[in-house]
A and B are shown apart, each in its own frame.
Chain A
Amino acid sequence: MRISCPCCGPRDRREFTYYGAADYLNRPALDADASAWDDYLHLRDNPAGETRDLWYHDPCGTWVAVTRDTVTHAVIAAEAVA
């Protein structure tokens, strides 16, 4: 699997660290109720198909949101988020 780092270009999957679902980008408001925080921290979809998750490109330090397909392993998009 290869991911296009928005800074460095297409690189091998070994150069990236997986962080988790892109849901981590949608942090609830501080005063959100407990169920919103429970969703945020613990509840994840497990799709067969398109999914979006966060990866860290170790060599350059770019956080990348990757849209990919868990069935075909196709990487559909990669965008810098930090």
Chain B
Amino acid sequence: MADLSAREPCAGLGLPLTLGGCRLAALPVERITAIQPFPGKVAAVETVLRAQGLRFPAPGHSHEAGGARIVWAGRETAFLFGMAAPEGLSAHAALSDQSDGWAGLRLEGPDARAVLARLLPIDLRAGAFEPEACARAPLNHMQVLIRRAGEAAFDLFVYRSMAGTAVHELTDAMRAVAARQAAVR
């Protein structure tokens, strides 16, 4: 009989890794639930979420309360991280467990934005992408869900099957930015 053992999505990828002014690490695996309100049910979903101190996020936004985060993840779709779906939500929205489907990475440090600028075509300056802002965007040819986690910290979620490629792309960009910084100094 096959011996199956649970592996975290970024196991064996050499993380955490620090290169130049940047650190790349795997995010802890947490529960992720996709919430897709049934037609006309956004207000009812809001009411259930409000009891948890959360709101259904507008495109490009996320909210945090009591260790849980709710992140806009697509049209009429939000991902709830770090808590089970609240009681009563399933009456108003389609819920699906996404926990095993995604690999979460955190890129942080003074060069994080310069590294991401090589891979993502979106404006990540603080004025355009403030803390808790999020976006679906391409990381080279891969789709990511990106969220600003702090002044110089970004959380990136890719499909679990692409974790290795994402780490490879990010590491290459980190190496290039670090080499450039070293040459300029």
Contact = CB atoms under 8 A, between A and B. Distances in A.
Contacts of B137: 11, 15, 59
A60 B138 contact: no
B143 A58 contact: yes
B121 A11 contact: yes
B74 interface: yes
A8 B136 contact: yes
A11 B122 contact: yes
Given A8-B135, A9-B60, A14-B138, A61 B75 contact: yes
Interface residues of B, number: 11
B121 A12 contact: yes
A55 B73 CA distance: 20
Q: Is the interface of B mostly helix, strand, loop or mixed?
A: strand
Given A7-B59, A9-B60, A14-B138, A60 B74 contact: yes
Interface string B39-61: 00000000000000000000110
Contacts of A59: 135-138, 143
B45 to A, nearest CB: 18
A62 interface: yes
Interface in A32-67: 58-62
A79 to B, nearest CB: 15
A62 B75 CA distance: 8
B138 to A, nearest CB: 6
